[in-house]
Amino acid sequence: MRKASISSWQPSKRLDRGNAAEQILDDLRGNILSGVLPRGAKLPTEKQLAEAYDVSGATIREAIRGLTTAQLVEVRHGSGAYVTADADQLIAMSLRSMIQMEGVSISEVLGVLSALNGYAAELAAVKARKEDLAEMQDALDQVDHGTDIASISDGLARFVDALANASGNALLAVLCRFLSSIQFALARQLTGKSFEAWRKTTRRLAKDRQRLVDAIAARDPESARAAARVYHERALKLIAALPGEGDAMLTDPALSTFLSSLLQGSTGHRSA
């Protein structure tokens, strides 16, 4: 991980009366999210921070604990605290909490994913670069020729990444990646550890994935959105037809326990 220089760093503001640790946490969080303290940067030492904010070491430690809980920094014993903030992880953490608290069903999650994928495809048809199209096609080739579950899953993850990134919309890309990870985890749960079942399932969607890429390459936003919708609808039908009560997984709003288990095991990275 790159170590950014923070030799010239200074607090953004003076502390007001009140909870000093909370104010320091907010100030450091703002510095991290704005890029003043970029990912990979090592924070000033506890002593340096205490001197800069004119507080005790205990107050600094409390603020750092808050940043660690928020997954913005990581404390490495004997080395110091480093910025580890990642957009995918931050949004995934918030969405996991919201989905579980509100009891959102799998069908509702996948319904939102369908709308977002269609929008991403439409944007990609306008904004995709040659490199994006090449990455999408290469990912599809990996899926088609994968020799084990891991290689096929990685190819699908690359395809989602390439499509999402080609949209040119950072927020849309992160949301698509997170929600896709839930869809893929569901499919993997239902196919189990069978390579043949996984390969058979993914191959049934090969033509639909290719039509989507072809529509984007043709710079046809309307066709790209339609292709994304067809691909998503066919994927849901395949999931519903899988053994392991696939249809119930998509339609039963009371399956919060199952969805929670997927969310707890999800990091925002795709696995299928």
Residues 162, 205 share a domain: yes
The pLDDT, as a whole number, for residue 1 is 41
- The residue length of the chain stands at 272
Q: What is the pTM of this model?
A: 0.74
Residues 227 and 60: their CA atoms lie apart, in Å, by: 52
Look at residue 5 and tell me if it is in a domain.
Answer: no
Look at residue 104 and tell me if it is in a domain.
Answer: yes
Look at residue 270 and tell me if it is in a domain.
Answer: no
Bridge partners of 76, per DSSP, are 80
Residues 112, 77 share a domain: no
Residues 173 and 76: their CA atoms lie apart, in Å, by: 30
Q: Each residue's pLDDT tens digit in the chain (272 positions)?
A: 444 445 568 888 778 888 999 999 999 999 998 889 999 999 999 999 999 999 999 999 999 999 999 889 999 988 999 999 888 888 888 888 888 788 788 888 889 999 999 999 999 999 999 999 999 999 999 999 999 999 999 999 999 999 999 999 999 999 999 999 888 888 877 777 789 988 998 999 999 999 999 999 999 999 999 999 999 999 888 888 876 555 555 555 544 555 666 556 554 444 43
Q: Which amino acid is at 268?
A: G
Look at residues 76, 78, 72, 77 and name the one whose alpha carbon lies nearest to residue 38. 72
Residues 108, 51 share a domain: no
Among candidate residues 85, 115, 142, the one where a domain is terminated: 85
Residues 114, 248 share a domain: yes
Contacts of 245 by beta carbon, 8 Å cutoff, 6+ apart? none
Residue 156's domain is classified under what CATH number? 1.20.120.530
Based on its alpha-carbon atoms, the radius of gyration of the chain, rounded to whole angstroms, reads 22
Look at residues 190, 154, 155, 160 and name the one whose alpha carbon lies nearest to residue 178. 160
Expressed as residue numbers, the domain containing 74 is 20-85
Residues 166, 74 share a domain: no
Look at residue 4 and tell me if it is in a domain.
Answer: no
Residues 164, 35 share a domain: no
Residues 122, 77 share a domain: no
Residues 100, 78 share a domain: no
Residues 163, 59 share a domain: no
CA quadruple 57, 61, 63, 67: dihedral, nearest 10? 150
Among candidate residues 57, 85, 113, the one where a domain is terminated: 85
The pLDDT, as a whole number, for residue 259 is 60
Instruction: Locate 87 and state its tokens.
Output: 């957009």
The pLDDT, as a whole number, for residue 7 is 59
Look at residue 235 and tell me if it is in a domain.
Answer: yes
Residues 200 and 203: their CA atoms lie apart, in Å, by: 5
| 120, 228 contact by CB (below 8 A) | yes
Residue 64's domain is classified under what CATH number? 1.10.10.10
Residues 119, 198 share a domain: yes
What SS3 class is residue 67? helix
Among candidate residues 85, 114, 140, the one where a domain is terminated: 85
* Percent of the chain as helix, strand, coil, to the nearest 5: 70, 5, 30
The pLDDT, as a whole number, for residue 118 is 96
Look at residue 94 and tell me if it is in a domain.
Answer: yes
- Total domains in the chain come to 2
Residues 107, 79 share a domain: no
Residues 120, 61 share a domain: no
